[in-house]
Amino acid sequence: MRWVSKIVENRIRDNLGKLHADKRDIRKEIPLNNTSATQDTFAGISEPVDSTTPSLILSKGEGLNKLEKAISGLKPEYREVIILTRLEGLSHKQVGEKLGKSPDAVRMLLARAMSVLSRNFENTE
């Protein structure tokens, strides 16, 4: 027991040493919401840099077009359950009340719809 406790004590000491190493000293951390510190650190920039590039915009647009095609290829009931749960954020119980189904039936319908949507998305060019 003494041997195991000595191993644990040494491991704790080693990890404590790592935490207090000069470059990683957690006592030197500065909160991100501290604007004066971030201005000094990032040469006066207190807001995140906008990294939107034309290629990123084009890529997002292509992804949205691909998703739109995949969704349009779904059966109407699949499309509706995805929209109600994923976009409108309704619970399975609320969707069930709207569609006249039990929450478990909505859960299964959503699982099937997401499976078909995933296949459609992969096969869409």
Burial class (CB in 10 A: 0-12, 13-18, 19+), 109: buried
pLDDT tens digits for 4-45? 788 888 888 777 766 666 665 566 677 777 555 444 444 455
pLDDT higher than threshold 50 for residue 103: yes
Contacts of 67 (CB under 8 A, 6+ apart): 121
